[in-house]
Amino acid sequence: MRYAMIMAGGVGTRLWPVSRAQTPKQLVPLIEIAGEAQRQALLTLATRRLEGLVDEDKRYICTNESYRDLITTHVPGFTDDRVLGEPVGRDTVNAVGFAAAVLHKRDPEAVFAVLTADHIIRPDDTFRKIIDVGYRMVEEDPTRLVTFSIKPTFAATGFGYIERGDPVPNSDGLGHRVERFVEKPSAEKAQAYLEAGAFGWNAGMFVWKASTILDCLRRYKPESYEGLMKIADAWDTPDQERVLGEVYPELPKISVDYAIMEPAAREHIRARGTAHEASSVKVCTVEMDLEWLDVGSWPSYAETLRAMDSSGTRISGNAIAHECSQTLIVNTDDTHTVAVLGAEDLIVVHTREATLVMPKDKAQDLKSLHARLPESLK
């Protein structure tokens, strides 16, 4: 049976002051959609993309436990039993393992997609067709771990890359073996990857069988596996919350790429052409040729807005700009007007609680400012 899990646990400090601990970016209605009067939250858009792909009762969200009420109240269709609340964040390998452990207990044949809640992905129908390819690849061969790679549009240095190898049969020409994962490259290497044509940006999305990813956890990250199995044993019993609260915070914090995907890919390559190839885990990727934007900072959020004129200034909310160039102004307080005169390459964000002003080239340093804020403003 097909399932989907959306990872939605991030706080989004680089989108402060709109994104805060109790109103994280994935739940804030920030995104303007053509033809719709109301802005939409990233998590709402992520759930919409599942329409027609996965049954509503097979959709899960993994998030911080403190966001549970926000999600069940504001995100349509999610019942309490399908919100997997982490007591604390322990990086992606444990979010993935948590979902796999719960789904495998409820359905030993579960195949599930791991999707993101902080990306703009368009068009939806193309996305669904591509994810369907991933499901079919795993249903054909449950030893496959399928990841997705975005067709690059420029030589990005802020993303990891995946190198595609030989094609996978019966995958509509989109599936390939993974040759290697590459961390964020230098500008020179990124340009070489773009020109080579065999590399894609690592989208951080996956499809696999729950039992297969649990077996990989057992082999590559046994500390996480043992703890997650304790949680699975207690799941849907009166001990569920107690065991989760005791065990989960002690799990080693590491990403799924470092913990599983990279060692599994290396093992897969070593097994090729040997007697072990048929039974080994096979790391594959499916290319995504569509519009994809990681909304992780104010400059990337600006790309979701139309420029007001040839100066490149973009506005969201009640604001006025005069003689400004390449400036972003965001105002979430309808009772307040933000007026900016003569600014260039500036970011101005106003909420009822706080106002941020910074040069665009400092956007990646916002975390250091965030660390100095009083807890009441984080």
Same domain membership, residue 315 and residue 169: no
Q: Is 306 helix (H, G, I), strand (E, B) or coil?
A: coil
Same domain membership, residue 269 and residue 321: no
Same domain membership, residue 124 and residue 241: yes
Of 294, 324, 355, at which residue does a domain stop? 294
Q: What is the torsional sign of CA 50, 53, 58, 62? A: negative
Of 254, 272, 294, at which residue does a domain stop? 294
* Per-residue model confidence (pLDDT) at position 274: 80
Query: Any idea what the CATH number is for the domain that residue 152 is in?
Result: 3.90.550.10
pTM beyond cutoff 0.85: yes
Of 265, 294, 323, at which residue does a domain stop? 294
206 within 8 A of 113, measured Cβ to Cβ: yes
Number of domains in the chain: 2
Same domain membership, residue 126 and residue 91: yes
Q: What is the torsional sign of CA 254, 46, 69, 30? A: positive
Same domain membership, residue 332 and residue 214: no
Question: In sequence order, what E strands does 89-129 have?
Answer: 111-116, 119-122
378 within 8 A of 20, measured Cβ to Cβ: yes
Same domain membership, residue 311 and residue 221: no
Band of pLDDT at residue 121, cut at 50, 70 and 90: very high
pLDDT 10s digits, 171-192? 999 999 999 999 999 999 999 9
> Cis peptide before 142, with omega less than 30 degrees from 0?
no
Same domain membership, residue 165 and residue 129: yes
Q: Provide mean pLDDT across the span 187-198.
A: 96
Same domain membership, residue 325 and residue 264: no
pLDDT 10s digits, 248-304? 999 999 999 999 999 999 998 888 878 777 778 999 999 999 999 999 999 999 999
**Chain mean pLDDT for the chain:** 94
Domain coverage including residue 57: 2-294
Same domain membership, residue 269 and residue 359: no
